[in-house]
Amino acid sequence: MRFPFIPSFSAAPAALTSLMLTLPLSAQPLPPELFLPPFPELGRTTSAGVAASASPRSAGEAASGLLGRWVTASGNLEVEIAPCGQPQPQPLCGTVTRVLGHRSMARDGEMQPVDARPAVGMQILRGLTLAASEDPQASGAPWFGEIYNRENGRTYRCRVHLGTTGGARHDLVVRPYVFTPLFGQTQHWQRAGAELAQQAQPKETP
């Protein structure tokens, strides 16, 4: 997955964003905390200063909408979101359960990911924790953690919340970013069942 960045509307952030847009992703500056230890430790980290633990009951109720299998925005991967381990119900992690396609999202001419390990079993969402300032019962309450990009081998911060499609909460809004959510781009992941049902619908013939 390639994560381009959007410009802001104030002078200073706009200048920084303009510089980032001119650099290849591998050359863009990342804060030191994004260079994280190997996978087992990543599941226990959260975005510093942004997320903290809610009460177990309220966090569990809020997490129920995120749990399950999702298809990434590229359509390449099916990812299962579940508690990382103890203590439950948070933090949450997302593990690849199935490869659905091989459409590259890398720059032109770069068709192979930096991380050549098999995708199945890879943990690409890590340490998702409900923001302490948010009401767990509120629709679309954000979770913060990390997302791993196997195409360039880097880890980014991310914000995740449930979105709506036609009035129903069927999509997962995932925003990878650097420094702040302002410098990121939103992706929409679909429920695996909804995605498969959509593909199974007969197409109209002209």
Q: Which H or E element spans position 154? A: strand 154-162
In the block, tokens 């690409």 appear at 124
Distance between CA atoms of residues 192 and 201, nearest Å: 15
Tokens of 154: 């880097």
Q: How confident is the model at residue 115 (pLDDT cuts 50, 70, 90)?
A: confident
Residue type, 131: A
Which has more confidence, 169 or 154? 154
The CATH number assigned to the domain with range 44-200 reads 2.40.128.520
Residue 2, pLDDT above cutoff 80: no
Query: What's residue 163's pLDDT?
Result: 85
Tell me which range, 40-49, 71-80, 192-201, is most confidently predicted by mean pLDDT: 71-80
CA-nearest of 140, 114, 159, 120 to 62 is 140
Vertex 11 angle, CA 7 and 12, to 5°:
85
Residue 12, pLDDT above cutoff 60: no
Q: Is the peptide bond before 40 cis (omega within 30 degrees of 0)?
A: no
**Interval 155-182 mean pLDDT:** 84
In the block, tokens 């593909």 appear at 199
Mean pLDDT of the chain: 70
Lowest-pLDDT range, 6-10, 167-171, 201-205?
Answer: 6-10
Long-range contacts, stretch 173-181, CB < 8 angstroms, 24+ apart = 173/140, 174/73, 174/147, 176/1, 176/3, 176/147, 176/149, 177/3, 177/5, 178/5, 178/20, 178/28, 178/29, 178/30, 178/31, 178/34, 179/31
Q: How confident is the model at residue 37 (pLDDT cuts 50, 70, 90)?
A: very low
66-77 residues labelled b (16+ CB within 10 A) or e (exposed): beebbbbbbebb
The residues spanned by each domain of the chain are 44-200
Asked if 72 contacts 93 with a C-beta cutoff of 8 angstroms, the reply is: no
pLDDT above 90 covers a percentage of the chain that reads: 32
